Amino acid sequence: MNKPTLLLTLSAALLGVFAAPAAAAPQLSTQSIIVNPTPTTLEARVWVDRDRSGNAVPNYRVGDRITLYTSVNENAYVYLFNVNPDGSTDQILPNRLSGSGNNYVRAGQTRAFPATGDRFTFDVAGPRGLNRVLVVASRRQLNLSELSSYTAGQDFATVKPTTTPGFAQALSIVVNPVEKPIPQKDWTSDTASYNVNY
């Protein structure tokens, strides 16, 4: 069994709320993270085990274990990504180890990743620097096939774009596809950060 070595960081620069017309397209924040400019009642939060507020930037050393938490105020499908200091992106959730339906979170429920009983851990690795964890919550299931894919024998999908702006742009297409677009009011996002030191 593979133990994923993910470098996860949560950024103190939380996404701002943007006022825009209801038909506005997804926007990219200054941190190149996707932001929904349309007001929605759906809320999502993400944080790491060393900062339950999600507002600080805690420090981790290479080799430390890290746990991510997320919650939503309405039933939603949750997608977790880690944006590394070098711009590469890891898809954390969904994955093949957490079981079927592992990214569906009920309203008011707090979910840990990895959860108790999961067959993997998240161990902090290099490079050092600031990382961001992004949660995208959607009332409807998203099709990530254009964004990431599983290769033979892998339990975690690999995100195709190699740069942060590329990832954010590709994700904006996922939440706003040409065919069967998802209503803007049906998704939201949040970020958290952490720092990795050696």
Q: Which amino acid is at 26?
A: P
Average pLDDT over residues 53-59: 88
Average pLDDT for 34-55: 86
Instruction: Give residue 59's pLDDT.
Output: 96
Quick one: pLDDT at residue 149?
86
Q: Percent of the chain scored above 70 by pLDDT?
A: 74
The first and second tokens of residue 18, run together, are: 């943007």
- pLDDT tens-digit series, residues 93-152: 998 887 667 899 999 999 999 888 887 888 988 788 999 999 999 999 988 888 888 888
Q: What is the pLDDT of residue 90?
A: 86
What pLDDT sits at residue 71?
Answer: 96
Q: How confident is the model at residue 13 (pLDDT cuts 50, 70, 90)?
A: very low
Q: Give the three-class secondary structure for 186.
A: helix
Spell out the domains of the chain, with CATH numbers in brackets.
Answer: 27-197 (2.60.40.2550)
Distances (CA, A) of 186 to 14, 41, 100, 183: 20, 9, 22, 5
Mean pLDDT throughout 10-28? Answer: 35
pLDDT in tens, 66-97: 999 999 999 999 999 988 888 788 889 998 88
Query: 3-state SS of 52-105?
Result: CCCCCCCEEECCCECCEEEEECCCEEEEEEEECCCCCEEEEECCCCCCCCCCEE
Residue 78 to residue 87: CA distance in whole angstroms: 22
pLDDT computed for residue 33 by the predictor: 61
pLDDT of residue 98: 76
